[in-house]
């Protein structure tokens, strides 16, 4: 069982990396620049053509985030159409006027701090998801051993565990429990996975 769960963790890590990256990007609120139409003819780009990020944009406090400019000061993700010096400068002056005269090193430090915070959040999210997946398999294993209906996990056990955690520990600890997937279908799949693993182990030992 322990060796099986280690394998589950490895599979879970790669999928969670992609999810964590999405979670970090989704947390940055997309805003629309009200002056998008006020561009010069030299900066006009067709709708099908995407603007490209330039490293010099860090001087305005922006870094690239999936072909869109991300402000390191407010974590706002602007549309790709705003990937132009004039628009980035305008955002800096209007939204962050107190930082408009800061040097490049200031924004580079902000960039590094942003990347560190993103890595930290991804690690925390990944760890929680790994533990939630492991707990889901352990729950399913116990249910299979007891021969209980698969629905008992979500309908009875999970609410009880939530109540116990709140009473014995605290609300902060209990808030992570809902992330443990225990629906009827998931428990069925977990038990099937465990059965397949046991069968495979038995075959290799014959």
Closest C-alpha to 69, from 48, 85, 49: 85
Give the domain range for residue 175. Answer: 2-15+122-205
Which of 57, 84, 115 is the C-terminal boundary of a domain? 115
Q: What is the pLDDT, as a whole number, of residue 46?
A: 46
Question: Mean per-residue pLDDT for 57-61?
Answer: 90
The reply to whether 20 falls in a domain is: no
Predicted confidence (pLDDT) per residue in 73-125, tens digit: 888 889 999 999 999 999 999 999 998 889 988 988 888 887 777 776 666 66
The count of domains in the chain is: 2
Same domain, 67 and 138: no
Q: What is the pLDDT, as a whole number, of residue 6?
A: 58
pLDDT averaged over the chain? 79
The reply to whether 147 falls in a domain is: yes
The reply to whether 52 falls in a domain is: yes
- pLDDT interval class at 201 (50, 70, 90): confident
Predicted confidence (pLDDT) per residue in 37-53, tens digit: 544 444 444 455 788 88
Q: What pTM was computed for the model? A: 0.44
Cα–Cα distance for residue pair 122/22, rounded to 1 Å: 10
Q: Give 150's contacts (C-beta < 8 A, 6+ positions apart).
A: 143, 184, 187, 188, 191
The reply to whether 32 falls in a domain is: yes
Same domain, 200 and 129: yes
Same domain, 77 and 139: no
Same domain, 192 and 139: yes
Same domain, 137 and 163: yes
The reply to whether 21 falls in a domain is: no
Which of 95, 115, 135 is the C-terminal boundary of a domain? 115
Cα–Cα distance for residue pair 99/116, rounded to 1 Å: 21
Which of 115, 142, 169 is the C-terminal boundary of a domain? 115
End-to-end Cα, the chain, rounded Å: 19
DSSP per residue, 16-40:
HHHHHHHHHHHHS-B---TTTT---
The reply to whether 22 falls in a domain is: no
């Amino acid at each position: 069982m322990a060796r099986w769960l280690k394998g589950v963790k490895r599979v879970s890590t790669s999928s969670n990396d992609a999810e964590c990256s999405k979670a970090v990007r989704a947390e940055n609120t997309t805003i629309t620049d009200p002056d998008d139409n006020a561009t010069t003819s030299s900066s006009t780009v067709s709708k099908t053509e995407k603007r490209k990020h330039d490293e010099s944009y860090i001087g305005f406090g922006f870094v690239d985030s999936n072909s869109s400019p991300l402000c390191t000061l407010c974590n706002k993700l602007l549309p790709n159409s705003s990937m132009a010096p004039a628009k980035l400068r305008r955002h800096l002056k209007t939204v962050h006027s107190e930082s408009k005269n800061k040097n490049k090193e200031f924004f580079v430090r902000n960039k590094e701090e942003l990347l560190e915070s993103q890595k930290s959040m991804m690690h925390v999210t990944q760890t929680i998801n790994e533990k939630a997946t492991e707990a889901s398999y352990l729950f399913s294993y116990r249910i299979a051993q007891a021969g209980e209906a698969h629905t008992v996990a979500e309908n009875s056990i999970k609410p009880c565990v939530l109540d116990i955690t709140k009473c014995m520990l605290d609300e902060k600890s209990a808030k992570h429990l809902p992330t443990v997937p225990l629906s009827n279908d998931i428990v069925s799949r977990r038990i099937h996975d465990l059965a397949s693993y046991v069968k495979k182990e038995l075959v290799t030992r014959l």
